[in-house]
Amino acid sequence: MKKNYGETEMKLIGLFLILHLMVFMIGCSDNATEEGTVQEHNETEEHSEVIKISEEVMKEFGIEVKQAGPGVITNHVDLIGEINVEPSRLSHIIPRFPGIVKEVYKTVGENVNQDEVLALIESNESLTTYEVKFLVEGTIIELHMAKGDLVGGEKIGFTVANLDKVWAMLSVYQKDINKIKVGQNAKVSVGSIDTEETGKISYLSPIVDEATRTASARVVLNNRSGKWRPGMFVTAKVYVSETKAPVVIEKTALQTIEEKQVVFVKVEDGFFSQAVKVGKENDDNVEIISGLKAGQQYVSKGAFTLKAEILKESFGGDEH
């Protein structure tokens, strides 16, 4: 049976529908606001939380901060070799006339000056003495006569070398020969910062040794200090390429967190870890393709301390 509503009842039904619609709209608005808040939080959640560390802790753990900026990535080839006397600076002194050695004035290791007398010899033919002199400056590295010896013929009396300049002769394996060029910079070292020097490749042999299957590269080194001794084993980094990049940082700044490479960026109230994408690199520096801009300050040394702080917090440790 169809029911007929009066005017008053119709008004009450309409009011109920309006109120129900308003409640539904408010609920939708709240959900939209909540979703918007979550979305906004996610968009800004690209950085980790700021780590606060005091200046005292930074000094204690050797944490250093530098500014990211443009730089050059140089790549090198590692070679080995030894220090040799330059042949043109090596002299073998043979007494002019056979005779008896009357005096020897110098010994191995001593320096000699130009026209300095090294020995006095009595000639067998004339029975007069004559002086053995050296014509340039150098160091005696071999001595083959003593007072009373009989000398003559082709026997060498002294070997003298001028060691103000020496050669670093480097072995270049076949796989690297096409990378090495005359004029390239090479840092020669014996494993100590005090004994290293940068020179240039001045010669590359056109042939490969049949026994070692290596070519020879030469670097001329200044040796007035005497730190390069002939016979020394040396290593060398020959710089074979250079690439300019807009953002280059020290390689020690890179850390790995949750399988991502990160650097720690300095902000006003501390540091945060920032994921980065790297490009070309060498032993010392690395190009940053994204994640860090020129001008930003980053932790160049001691970054592992900040990483340890993050790991400690992730396992529920106390804050610094």
Name the pLDDT band for 1 (thresholds 50, 70, 90). very low
> Range with the lowest mean pLDDT among 49-58, 73-82, 270-279?
49-58
Q: What is the pLDDT of residue 317?
A: 52
For the segment 296-319, the average pLDDT, to the nearest whole number, is 81
Residues 320 and 51: beta-carbon distance below 8 Å: yes
Name the pLDDT band for 59 (thresholds 50, 70, 90). very high
pLDDT at 296 over 90: yes
Q: What is the pLDDT of residue 120?
A: 97
- Give the tens place of pLDDT for each residue, 143-200: 999 999 999 888 999 999 999 999 999 999 999 999 999 999 999 999 766 789 999 9
DSSP 3-state of 38: helix
Name the pLDDT band for 314 (thresholds 50, 70, 90). low
- Give the tens place of pLDDT for each residue, 22-56: 444 444 444 443 333 333 333 333 445 889 888 88
Domains delineated in the chain: 55-73+244-314 (2.40.420.20), 76-85+164-243 (2.40.30.170), 89-161 (2.40.50.100)
Q: What is the pLDDT of residue 230?
A: 94
What's the pTM value of the predicted model, to 2 decimals? Answer: 0.66
Strand order in the sheet with 150-151: 129-134, 116-123, 99-104, 150-151
Rounded CA-CA distance 97/115 in Å is: 18
Name the pLDDT band for 223 (thresholds 50, 70, 90). very high
State CA 50 to chain mean position distance.
31
Q: What is the pLDDT of residue 315?
A: 58
Q: Say how many residues make up the chain.
A: 320
Average pLDDT, the chain: 85
Secondary structure E strands in 124-259: 129-134, 138-143, 150-151, 158-161, 165-173, 185-192, 195-204, 214-222, 233-250, 255-257
Number of H helices, E strands in the chain: 3, 21
pLDDT at 5 over 70: no
